[in-house]
């Protein structure tokens, strides 16, 4: 009945198993293309952006709209050209935007630990840095030379002599008066001492004690008066020394000012009208005059001596680093006038917002404003920054730092230690730099939706979603686009030009990558890599162009390189280590199909699914779930098939079934519902007692209405069972049942297509469980008649009869006074 039923499935013809791009269509498409020397269409250019109009329009908006918060998140599959298109559109927008200002850090002479950030016109910072460096280097040579002139030495000698003569003159006057009074003044390690003197000799203490009392008192009074006078003189000495140093400092400043002013005036000539630079030069002049002693080392002879640092480069001279300029963002005059576009490949916190470096010296860490290093935000400021979102999220503190910068519109340099409040030492706190740029994050769809869901700030900062397409419809326009793309990529990368047959083969592979006979994959990066391999094989064969056979050989070689695990797994089946039947019939046993993913390589393989039934309390046990090997989607599929079974059979009696389902010899996790139809077929076979063909394999999920639904990986699943059958020898009766809705996804390899064309293998599209069970058993599925009963001799009738028999047996068993289930000892909810 299954073969004559108009609803019975018909095996697919070979022509429906794989789309074949006709070479004539490709040749016509190539002929319609404009000359390769003509400018590329902006929507369909040579960089591999075909079919991405939606993403490109989003990028155009995000890179051109001036309002705050319109940063961009580019989401889509790997290999679709996300980074390339983002950079391309950003560069186009940057070409029409002005070059941003330069930024420098300089030492703040008032608050030394807070370096000042100064803005300069574009192209000015580096020139200003060199000017200041030349200025300081010039001064550290010319100012010391001025201090060695005779004029300076003479004026310095006069100041020193005035100080010495005045102090020594007053000391001599006190000494003279003391001598006239018979008192001697002597220098001791403890200072000055006074004692009576007679006949040129100091009176010793024992001799002084023998003098008359009146004479002793007279000496004591004289000594006290002289000591007071000497103390007054000594109290004045520090003040006089301070005044002396001030006079020398004033002399040094006066003499240095002539040289410094001349050098500063020369430096100012290149920055007329630039107030920031001129003000900085004035600040440098004032500090140099205030610290003019930096230039000289007193030789103790009224002259100057050279510091040891005078011979080192100016950038290493620790005396003058405070005056230098640290360029954070600066452009050379010939670098162009457009806004910057930067791709940051390693977005750590330091590479993003900048860092402060330290130098180990004498066991301590030292730093200054010259050791501030810019980050990607500094270099891209005023333009566009493209960052890989996955890498950004993985870096500690980087994501929060980026959000903070975008919110505050400033760049604040912070170290991980500061972020974690682990540093208590004094360090630099550079002034924040205003931020004005557009950030483009490139990442996966899953990451985008996670950020939308979990980060409330994300939506405010990234308002533009540039969603890349995975594929595009296969039509004449798509063929022309792919032909244009492949030929121009070949020209751009120096590869051999693909001929029409090669382009057709590439398009067929694009459909395979899309997993859809009506669409083409937009993972152009993978196709470009395939073209490079095909170019190699064309060269090995001595061809000047890439031919179709070169593309097919590249695909075969690529598969062979990744095929070791598939071969080993299928070898286990061939050697009957893993039990799979490909002929005969079995009750409650069926070949399900699964896909194994290893890295970027996927392959299909059959798995034996078995079902066992008996009287019970209405439980369908999923052994995978019970053993915690089944995922939630697989468990959902088992629950759905259970619902279908219990709602369609023996609905007028209590459910009295106990059943178990298992993937035999499965030792890893099982996920997905694509085997739920196969599990249901095995269960129906076990209940009806009707055997199932083992030369057929099944894939497809089932809903509660008994409809077979589409699944993923249909091509790999079909090829997996085919390879097992081919290894054992094709019989002409073997085949695969797939959901009817998956027919459009078939893009099978040539070995399967040729076997179907030769009648050695078959692929059956199935729409309902009834269609599938009829094909698998060879018996009619059976429909309910007007009396509500299934057709006699049908699978459904046998299933319902078995379930009704379970109910009757259970009722009779319960009537004997035993209200518990025999299989598990638990009381049933259905016991009457």
- Domain extents for the chain? 21-49+471-561, 52-98+338-468, 141-315, 568-815
Which pLDDT score, from 0 to 100, does residue 751 have? Answer: 93
Residue 697 has which token pair? 């394999």
With a cut of 70, say whether residue 339 has pLDDT above it.
Answer: yes
Which pLDDT score, from 0 to 100, does residue 441 have? Answer: 97
Q: How many CB atoms lie within 10 A of CB 317?
A: 19
C-alpha 311 chain-centroid distance: 46
- Tell which phi-psi region holds residue 396, choosing left (phi > 0), alpha (psi between -120 and 50) or beta: beta
- Residue bearing the bigger pLDDT, 361 or 590: 590
pLDDT in tens, 444-498: 999 999 999 999 999 999 999 999 998 889 888 888 888 888 888 898 889 999 9
With a cut of 60, say whether residue 335 has pLDDT above it.
Answer: yes
Which pLDDT score, from 0 to 100, does residue 628 have? Answer: 81
Model confidence band, residue 214 (pLDDT cutoffs 50, 70, 90)? confident
Residue 566 has which token pair? 């598939």
Which pLDDT score, from 0 to 100, does residue 832 have? Answer: 32
Least confident of 63-72, 362-371, 608-617, 686-695: 362-371
**Do the Cβ atoms of 70 and 61 come closer than 8 Å?**
yes
CATH number belonging to domain 568-815: 3.30.230.10
pLDDT in tens, 719-772: 999 999 999 999 999 999 999 999 999 999 999 999 999 999 999 999 999 999
With a cut of 80, say whether residue 424 has pLDDT above it.
Answer: no
With a cut of 70, say whether residue 693 has pLDDT above it.
Answer: yes
Q: How many CB atoms lie within 10 A of CB 446?
A: 10
Which pLDDT score, from 0 to 100, does residue 822 have? Answer: 45
**Do the Cβ atoms of 757 and 727 come closer than 8 Å?**
no
Among this protein's residues, is 674 annotated catalytic?
yes
Which pLDDT score, from 0 to 100, does residue 45 have? Answer: 46
pLDDT in tens, 800-811: 999 999 888 888
Least confident of 178-182, 265-269, 286-290, 572-576: 178-182
Give the residue-averaged pLDDT of 181-199: 72
- Residue bearing the bigger pLDDT, 494 or 220: 494
Which pLDDT score, from 0 to 100, does residue 3 have? Answer: 42
Radius of gyration of the chain (CA): 47
Q: Look up residue 546 and give its DSSP letter.
A: B
Contacts of 96 (CB under 8 A, 6+ apart): 338
Residue 591 has which token pair? 């070949």
Query: Residue holding tokens 């059959």?
Result: 606
Q: Look up residue 422 and give its DSSP letter.
A: -
Strands 433-434 and 410-411: antiparallel
Model confidence band, residue 831 (pLDDT cutoffs 50, 70, 90)? very low
- Pick from 748, 68, 665, 167: which is nearest to 405 by CA? 68
Q: Which helix H or strand E contains 83, and what residues bound it?
A: helix 82-95
Helix ranges (DSSP H) in 456-611: 458-461, 476-493, 500-514, 524-540, 548-561, 564-574
Q: What is the mean pLDDT of the chain?
A: 86
Give the residue-averaged pLDDT of 84-90: 94
Which pLDDT score, from 0 to 100, does residue 587 have? Answer: 95
Query: Residue holding tokens 């930096």?
Result: 294
Please compute, for residue 478, the number of CA atoms within 13 A of its CA located in the half-sphere on the CB side: 19
Catalytic residue (one of 554, 666, 674, 676): 674
Contacts of 666 (CB under 8 A, 6+ apart): 607, 624, 629
Which pLDDT score, from 0 to 100, does residue 249 have? Answer: 79
With a cut of 60, say whether residue 830 has pLDDT above it.
Answer: no
Three-class SS state of 111: coil
Q: How far apart are CA 18 and CA 338, in angstroms?
A: 50
Q: How far apart are CA 262 and CA 270, in angstroms?
A: 14
- Residue bearing the bigger pLDDT, 51 or 771: 771
Q: How far apart are CA 278 and CA 256, in angstroms?
A: 20
Strands 696-698 and 438-443: unpaired
Q: How many CB atoms lie within 10 A of CB 347?
A: 24
Q: How far apart are CA 611 and CA 590, in angstroms?
A: 9
Q: How far apart are CA 513 and CA 533, in angstroms?
A: 17
Q: Widest CA span of the chain, in angstroms?
A: 159
- Residue bearing the bigger pLDDT, 663 or 302: 663
pLDDT in tens, 247-284: 777 888 888 888 999 999 999 998 999 999 999 999 99
Catalytic residue (one of 88, 222, 496, 717): 717
Which pLDDT score, from 0 to 100, does residue 419 have? Answer: 61
Which pLDDT score, from 0 to 100, does residue 540 have? Answer: 93
Residue 107 has which token pair? 């030492």
Query: What is the arrangement of strands in the sheet containing 464-467, beginning at the earlier edge strand?
Result: 341-344, 384-388, 438-443, 72-75, 464-467
With a cut of 70, say whether residue 820 has pLDDT above it.
Answer: no
Model confidence band, residue 160 (pLDDT cutoffs 50, 70, 90)? confident
Residue 458 φ then ψ, to 5° = -60, -45
Contacts of 385 (CB under 8 A, 6+ apart): 342, 344, 376, 377, 437, 438, 439, 440
Using CA atoms in the order 678, 682, 685, 689, what is the torsion angle rounded to 10 degrees? Answer: 170
pLDDT > 70: percent of the chain:
90
Which pLDDT score, from 0 to 100, does residue 389 have? Answer: 96
Residue 414 has which token pair? 């912070």
Residue 183 φ then ψ, to 5° = -115, 135
Model confidence band, residue 8 (pLDDT cutoffs 50, 70, 90)? confident
Least confident of 81-85, 198-202, 428-432, 808-812: 198-202
- Pick from 447, 440, 432: which is nearest to 461 by CA? 440
Which pLDDT score, from 0 to 100, does residue 42 have? Answer: 36
CATH 3.40.50.300 fits 52-98+338-468, yes or no: yes
Q: Look up residue 580 and give its DSSP letter.
A: -
The interaxial angle of helices 53-64 and 82-95, nearest 10 deg, is 40
**Do the Cβ atoms of 270 and 124 come closer than 8 Å?**
no
Q: Look up residue 14 and give its DSSP letter.
A: G
Using CA atoms in the order 610, 616, 617, 620, what is the torsion angle rounded to 10 degrees? Answer: 0
Q: How far apart are CA 507 and CA 20, in angstroms?
A: 9
Q: How far apart are CA 715 and CA 514, in angstroms?
A: 11
**Do the Cβ atoms of 743 and 802 come closer than 8 Å?**
no
- Residue bearing the bigger pLDDT, 186 or 317: 317
C-alpha angle 485-489-490 in degrees, rounded to nearest 5: 120
Query: Residue holding tokens 């061809």?
Result: 543
With a cut of 60, say whether residue 43 has pLDDT above it.
Answer: no
Whether this prediction's pTM lies above 0.85 is answered by no
CATH topology of domain 21-49+471-561: Helicase, Ruva Protein; domain 3 (1.10.8)
Which pLDDT score, from 0 to 100, does residue 553 have? Answer: 94
């Amino acid at each position: 009945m299954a073969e004559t039923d108009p609803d019975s499935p018909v095996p697919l013809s070979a022509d429906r198993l794989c789309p074949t791009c006709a070479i004539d269509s490709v040749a016509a498409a190539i002929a319609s293309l404009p000359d390769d020397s003509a400018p590329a269409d902006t929507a369909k250019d040579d960089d591999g952006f075909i079919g991405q109009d939606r993403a490109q329009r989003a990028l155009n908006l995000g890179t051109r709209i001036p309002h705050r918060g319109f940063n961009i998140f580019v989401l889509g599959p790997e290999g679709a050209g996300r980074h390339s298109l983002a950079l391309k559109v950003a560069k186009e927008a940057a070409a029409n935007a002005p070059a941003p200002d330069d930024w420098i850090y300089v030492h703040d002479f008032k608050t030394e630990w807070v370096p000042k950030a100064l803005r300069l016109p574009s192209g000015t910072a580096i020139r200003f840095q060199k000017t200041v460096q030349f200025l300081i280097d010039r001064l550290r040579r010319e100012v010391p030379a001025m201090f060695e002139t005779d004029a300076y030495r003479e004026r310095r000698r006069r100041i020193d002599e005035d100080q010495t003569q005045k102090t020594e003159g007053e000391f001599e006057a006190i000494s003279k008066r003391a001598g006239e009074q018979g008192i001697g003044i002597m220098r001791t390690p403890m200072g000055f001492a006074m004692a009576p003197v007679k006949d040129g000799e100091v009176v010793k203490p024992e001799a002084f004690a023998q003098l008359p009392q009146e004479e002793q008192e007279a000496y004591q009074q004289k000594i006290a008066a002289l000591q007071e006078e000497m103390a007054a003189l000594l109290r004045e000495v520090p003040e006089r020394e301070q005044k002396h140093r001030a006079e020398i400092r004033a002399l040094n400043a006066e003499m240095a000012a002539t040289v410094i002013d001349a050098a500063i005036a020369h430096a100012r000539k290149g920055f007329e009208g630039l107030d920031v630079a001129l003000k900085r030069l004035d600040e440098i002049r004032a500090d140099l005059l205030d610290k003019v002693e930096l230039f000289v080392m007193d030789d103790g002879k009224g002259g100057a001596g050279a510091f040891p640092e005078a011979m080192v480069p100016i950038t290493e001279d620790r005396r003058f680093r405070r005056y230098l300029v640290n360029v954070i963002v600066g452009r050379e005059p010939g670098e162009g006038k457009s806004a910057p576009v930067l791709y940051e490949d390693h977005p750590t916190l330091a590479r993003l917002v900048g860092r402060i470096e330290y130098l180990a010296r004498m066991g301590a860490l030292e730093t200054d404003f010259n050791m501030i290093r810019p980050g990607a935000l500094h270099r891209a400021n005023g333009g566009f920054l493209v960052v890989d979102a996955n890498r950004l999220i993985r870096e500690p503190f980087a994501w929060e730092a980026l959000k903070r910068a975008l919110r505050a519109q400033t760049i604040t340099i912070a170290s991980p230690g500061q972020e974690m409040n682990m540093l208590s030492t004094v360090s630099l706190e550079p002034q924040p730099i205003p931020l004005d740029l557009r950030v483009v994050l490139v990442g996966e769809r899953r990451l985008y939706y996670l950020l939308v869901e979990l980060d409330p700030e994300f939506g405010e900062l990234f308002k533009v979603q540039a969603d890349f397409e995975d594929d595009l419809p296969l039509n004449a326009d798509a063929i022309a686009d792919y032909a244009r793309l492949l030929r121009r990529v070949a020209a751009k990368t120096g590869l051999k030009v693909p001929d029409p047959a090669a382009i057709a083969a590439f398009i067929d592979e694009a459909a395979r990558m899309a997993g859809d006979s009506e669409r083409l994959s937009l993972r152009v990066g993978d196709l470009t890599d395939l073209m490079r391999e095909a170019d190699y094989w064309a060269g090995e064969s001595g061809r000047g162009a890439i031919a179709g056979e070169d593309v097919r050989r590249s695909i075969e070689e690529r598969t062979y390189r990744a095929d070791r695990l598939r071969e080993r797994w299928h070898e286990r089946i061939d050697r009957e280590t893993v039990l799979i039947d490909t002929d005969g019939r079995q009750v409650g046993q069926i070949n399900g199909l699964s896909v194994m993913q290893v890295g970027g390589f996927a392959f299909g393989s059959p798995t034996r699914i078995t079902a066992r039934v008996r009287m019970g309390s209405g439980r369908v046990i999923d052994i995978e779930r019970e053993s915690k090997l089944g995922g939630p989607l697989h468990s959902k599929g088992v629950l759905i098939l259970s619902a279908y079974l219990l709602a369609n059979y023996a609905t007028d009696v209590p459910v009295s079934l106990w059943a178990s389902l298992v993937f035999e010899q499965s030792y890893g996790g099982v996920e997905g519902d694509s085997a739920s139809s196969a599990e249901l077929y095995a269960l129906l076979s076990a209940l009806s007692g009707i055997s199932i063909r083992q030369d057929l394999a099944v894939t497809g999920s089932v809903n509660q209405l008994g409809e077979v639904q589409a699944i993923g990986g249909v091509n790999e699943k079909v090829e997996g069972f085919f390879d097992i059958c081919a290894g054992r020898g094709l019989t002409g009766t073997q085949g695969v049942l797939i959901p009817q809705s998956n027919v459009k996804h078939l893009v099978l390899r040539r070995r399967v297509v040729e076997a179907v064309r030769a009648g050695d293998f078959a692929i059956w599209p199935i729409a309902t469980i009834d269609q599938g069970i009829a094909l698998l058993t060879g018996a009619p599925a059976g429909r309910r008649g007007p009396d509500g009963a299934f057709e006699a001799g049908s699978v459904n009738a046998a299933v319902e009869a078995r379930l009704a028999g379970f109910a009757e047996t259970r009722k009779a068993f319960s009537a004997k006074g035993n209200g518990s289930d025999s299989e598990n000892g638990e009381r049933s909810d259905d016991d009457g």
